[in-house]
Amino acid sequence: MNVLGIDFGETHMGLALGSTDTGLAEPLAAELTSTEYVKIEDICIENEIERIVVGVSEGKSAQEAREFAGKLENLGIPIVFYDETLSTR
């Protein structure tokens, strides 16, 4: 299964393409802002994405990531959230 990982940030987002078949992921060289979510549809189509994983932490940042993910629901691709709380430590 092809997976798109999104590390949401209000200014910039990190994207990664992964595969459950290989267990590998690699960064996607695409610099997007939170207002460019429409470009994610093209990325999903080009890479036959079957699941989107959005990293969330705590507080306002988590709320913003979930709101952003809500804008992707129209893609018809399942979206799951991954808790990244304290992951930078």
pLDDT tens for residues 7-43?
Answer: 887 777 889 999 999 999 999 876 676 667 778 899 9
Residue 54 CB burial class (10 angstroms; 0-12, 13-18, ≥19): buried
User: What pLDDT does residue 10 have?
Assistant: 76
Report the length, in residues, of the chain: 89
Confidence at 58, pLDDT banded by 50, 70, 90: confident
The larger pLDDT score, comparing residue 89 to residue 48, is at 48
Q: Name the H helices within the chain.
A: 38-46, 59-70
